[in-house]
C-alpha cells in the first residue's frame, strides 16, 4: 500500500490492484470495529459500479476476516427504483456482498426506492436518527463510503443541486441532471458528520476530477465532492493507479 500524502486531515492511499484496494478498505473497517466496542458499527455504502468489484472480492476472499455480525449496512443514496431493478444500489450490494456474507436482515437498512420519494426521504431520515449513533444530534456513521462522478457529484448530490448538500435535513430527494431519475440522498450535514469518510474512486475516467479536487483547483469549487470533509474523523481517498494518475 503506497501512502502519498496526509494533509488537511485527509489521507490518500493508492493501491496497485483491486486486491490491495479491498485490503485497504477492510483495514479501515477493522480499525473501526476495534474502536467501537459497545455496539455494531454503521456503514453507509455508496452505489454505482465502482464498489461492485470491491464487494465481490471481499465476499469471495475475506468473509472470515471480520466479525461481519457487528456491521450494520445503510446507504448514502439510492435510486428511486424497486429493489430488484438493476439500477438499485441495494440490489448491487445485496448480490455482491450482503447475501454472499450472509448478513442478517436485521443488520440491513435499505432505502426503499420503490415508495414515494418524499415519503421515503422522511422515513429514512427517521430511521437513521433512530438507529445510528448521534454526534451533535446528527447521525454519525462510523464509515461513509462515497463514490465520485466525473462531474464532481458524490452520493446523489449533483453540481446543480448544492442546496441538497447544505440542507438542514438528513435526507433529501435529488434528481439526476441527465436522466431525470429521482434519488434519495444523505445530505452534506450527515455525510460530513461521519467518523471515517472514504472516497472509493478507480479508473482513468476519474483521474481528472480526482486531481482537480485534491489540488483544490478553481474548477473544483463547483463540485459537491469538494465540500466533503470529516468533522469528526478522517477523510480517506482510496484510489487505484489509474484514478491517481494525474496526482
Ligand atoms: C450512485 C452513487 C454515485 C456514484 C458515482 C460514481 O447512486 O450512482 O452513489 O455517487 O458513486 O456516480 O459511480 P460509478 O462508480 O458508477 O462511476
* pLDDT tens digits, 36-90: 999 999 999 999 999 999 999 999 999 998 999 999 999 999 999 999 999 999 9
Q: Cβ(187)–Cβ(169) under 8 Å?
A: yes
Report the nearest-CA residue for atom 13 of ligand 1. 48
Cell of 162: 448544492
What is the distance between the alpha carbons of residues 65 and 25, in angstroms, rounded to a whole number? Answer: 12
C-alpha 210 to ligand 1 mean position (Å): 14
Q: Which of 247, 236, 246 is nearest to 21 (CA)?
A: 236
* CB of 233 sitting under 6 A from ligand 1: no
Q: Cβ(148)–Cβ(224) under 8 Å?
A: no
C-alpha 144 to ligand 1 mean position (Å): 14
More confident residue, 10 or 9: 10
pLDDT band at 10 (very low <50, low <70, confident <90, very high): confident
β-bridge mates for residue 134, sequence order: 139
What is the per-residue pLDDT across 209-239, written as a single tens digit (0 to 9) for each?
A: 999 999 999 999 999 999 999 888 999 999 9
pLDDT at 1: 43
Q: Report, as an integer, the average pLDDT of 140-164.
A: 97
What is the distance between the alpha carbons of residues 75 and 144, in angstroms, rounded to a whole number? Answer: 9
Report the nearest-CA residue for atom 2 of ligand 1. 47
Q: Report, as an integer, the average pLDDT of 95-124.
A: 98
DSSP label at 227? G
What is the distance between the alpha carbons of residues 247 and 244, in angstroms, rounded to a whole number? Answer: 6
* CB of 203 sitting under 6 A from ligand 1: no
What is the distance between the alpha carbons of residues 106 and 233, in angstroms, rounded to a whole number? Answer: 27
- At residue 4, does pLDDT exceed 70? no
pLDDT at 5: 46
Query: CA-based angle 24:2:197, to the nearest 5?
Result: 45
Mutate to test the pocket of ligand 1, among 43, 44, 45, 46 (most ligand atoms within 8 A of CB): 46
C-alpha 28 to ligand 1 mean position (Å): 21
Q: Which residue is listed with cell 448544492? A: 162
Q: Cβ(126)–Cβ(112) under 8 Å?
A: no
Q: Report, as an integer, the average pLDDT of 100-122.
A: 98
Cell of 186: 444523505
pLDDT band at 3 (very low <50, low <70, confident <90, very high): very low
pLDDT band at 148 (very low <50, low <70, confident <90, very high): very high
Q: Which of 68, 80, 64, 138 is nearest to 108 (CA)?
A: 68
Mutate to test the pocket of ligand 1, among 74, 147, 191, 238 (most ligand atoms within 8 A of CB): 147
pLDDT band at 9 (very low <50, low <70, confident <90, very high): low
- At residue 6, does pLDDT exceed 50? no
Amino acid at each position: 500500500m503506497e501512502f502519498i500524502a496526509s494533509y488537511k486531515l485527509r489521507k490518500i492511499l493508492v493501491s496497485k490492484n483491486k486486491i490491495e484496494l479491498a485490503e485497504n478498505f477492510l483495514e479501515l473497517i477493522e480499525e473501526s470495529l476495534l474502536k467501537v466496542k459497545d455496539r455494531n458499527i454503521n456503514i453507509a455504502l455508496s452505489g454505482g459500479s465502482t464498489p461492485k468489484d470491491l464487494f465481490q472480492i471481499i465476499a469471495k476472499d475475506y468473509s472470515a476476516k471480520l466479525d461481519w455480525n457487528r456491521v450494520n449496512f445503510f446507504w448514502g443514496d439510492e435510486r428511486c427504483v424497486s429493489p430488484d431493478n438493476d439500477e438499485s444500489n441495494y440490489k448491487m450490494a445485496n448480490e455482491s456482498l450482503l447475501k454472499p456474507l450472509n448478513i442478517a436482515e436485521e443488520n440491513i437498512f435499505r432505502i426503499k426506492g420503490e415508495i414515494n420519494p418524499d415519503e421515503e426521504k422522511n422515513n429514512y431520515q427517521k430511521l437513521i436518527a433512530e438507529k445510528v449513533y448521534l454526534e451533535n444530534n446528527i447521525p454519525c456513521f462510523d464509515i461513509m463510503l462515497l463514490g465520485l462522478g466525473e462531474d464532481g457529484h458524490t452520493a446523489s448530490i449533483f453540481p446543480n443541486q448544492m442546496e441538497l448538500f447544505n440542507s438542514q435535513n438528513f435526507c433529501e430527494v435529488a434528481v439526476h441532471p441527465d436522466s431525470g431519475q429521482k434519488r434519495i440522498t444523505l445530505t452534506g450535514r450527515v455525510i460530513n458528520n461521519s467518523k471515517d469518510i472514504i472516497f472509493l474512486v478507480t479508473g482513468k475516467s476519474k483521474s481528472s476530477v480526482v486531481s482537480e479536487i485534491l489540488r483544490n483547483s478553481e474548477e473544483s469549487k463547483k463540485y459537491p465532492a469538494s465540500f466533503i470533509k470529516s468533522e469528526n474523523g478522517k477523510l480517506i481517498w482510496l484510489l487505484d493507479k489509474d484514478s491517481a494518475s494525474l496526482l
